[in-house]
Amino acid sequence: LGSTILQLLATYPRSIIGIMLIVAAAGLAKAARDCLTGEAFFIVFMTAIFSLQPNNTAIGFLAGVITYLTLRIRNKIITDRT
């Protein structure tokens, strides 16, 4: 089944597959926006943006973790000031 799908995708031009991926990502982003608010959406957004790096989704994961930790530290600093 996997090799059949790869053969099917190989027949499409890369530009069409890229557009299909962008449309799918936009749909997922809309669903995430409706489910998540504020900081949670920002973390998902940063993870998704950095996951667009070709052949390396680990960069997206690390960007999400770094964003989460940065926001957590910022919130702790703000809370300690008050």
Closest by CA to 47, choosing from 35, 3, 4, 32, is 32
Per-residue pLDDT of the chain (82 residues; tens, 9 = 90+): 678 888 887 888 888 878 888 888 788 777 777 776 778 888 888 888 888 777 778 888 899 899 999 999 999 998 888 7
Angle of CA points 23, 27, 30, to nearest 5°: 135
For residue 1, the model assigns a pLDDT of 65
Helix (H) or strand (E) segment spanning residue 6: helix 2-11
- With a CB cutoff of 8 Å and minimum separation 6, the contacts of 44 are 32, 36, 64
For residue 46, the model assigns a pLDDT of: 85
Do residues 2 and 25 touch, judged by C-beta distance below 8 A? no
